[in-house]
Amino acid sequence: MTLDAVSKILQAVLLACGKAMTVEQLIAIFGLEDGVNHEQVVQALQTLRVALEGSALELVQVASGFRVQVRAEFGPYVSRLWEERPQKYSRALLETLALIAYRQPITRGEIEDIRGVAVSTQIIRTLQEREWVRIAGHRDVPGRPALLVTTRLFLDAFGLKRLSDLPSLAALRDLDQINAELNLTEAGQNEQNGLMMAKDAQPHDDFQVEEHE
């Protein structure tokens, strides 16, 4: 068996395996009739290493043997494969954000007054990390509470040019009315969420069988 043939078999086996393999394990892949020895496997690994140059893959030696891996430079692209599906923000966060957007600048205390419940520090921090909300200053009252405002990124995220593009509160009332008419209060929201999840579903689910019977 030529070195090239051995090298290709090693490539096949390492990539089908997807894990590191020792030279001993690699030798065991060959039958007696192939007559491949330790030295040939080591040489063939070198051939493979060279063959992979210029590709997205590389042969590396790690503690548990040799493995083929995707070159580190492709990390940013590969990592998008496993981007976690965005979770949904909590109701409390959305309400807090809505209040900041419509009543800015507003303090945490004022949000709490309107919502009737405490606003968790976590929510404010999440909104700040997302750079949708920032502290514009402090109200000059005892305790000097932070004044929260929305940012330009917030406008960008919602496709708005300026704050006045936010739907007016009158539109809110219309929405209320429409919902009442359609009898779509809580159920409507669930349905909406459902639709959004459906959008994220795997292509698998698109698989449809047409019947004409």
Partner 1 sequence: MNEPAVHALLQTEMPFALVYGKALTKIPEDLYIPPDALEVFLEAFEGPLDLLLYLIRRQNMDILDIQVAEITRQYMGYIDIMQSMKFELAAEYLVMAAMLGEIKSRCLLPRPRDTQGEDGEDPRAELIRRLQEYERYKQAALDLDALPMEGRDFFVAIATAPIYTRLHAPPEVELDELLLALRDVLKRAELYESHHVGHEGLSLRERMADILQALQEDEFLSFFALFHVEEGRLGVVVSFIALLELIKEGLLDLVQAESFAPIYVRHRRTQTEELAP
Our finding on whether 171 is near a copy of itself (CB under 8 A) is no
Which of 13, 92, 135, 160 is the binder for a copy of itself (CB under 8 A)? 13
Structure-block tokens of residue 181: 């008419």
Which of 2, 19, 28, 46 is the binder for partner 1 (CB under 8 A)? 19
What's the sign of the alpha-carbon dihedral 109, 112, 117, 121? Answer: negative
Our finding on whether 212 is near a copy of itself (CB under 8 A) is yes
Q: What are the b/e assignments for 35-63, b being 16+ CB within 10 Å?
A: ebeeebbeebbebbbebbeeeebebeeee
Our finding on whether 68 is near partner 1 (CB under 8 A) is yes
Contact 17, 28 (CB under 8 A): no
Our finding on whether 172 is near partner 1 (CB under 8 A) is yes
In the range 85-114, which residues lie near partner 1 by CB under 8 A? Answer: 85-89, 91-92, 94-95, 97-99, 101-105, 113-114
Give the end-to-end CA distance of the chain in Å, rounded to a whole number: 58
Q: How far is the CB of 104 from partner 1 (least distance, A)?
A: 5
Select the binding partner of residue 22 from partner 1, a copy of itself, none (C-beta < 5 to 8 A, by kind): a copy of itself
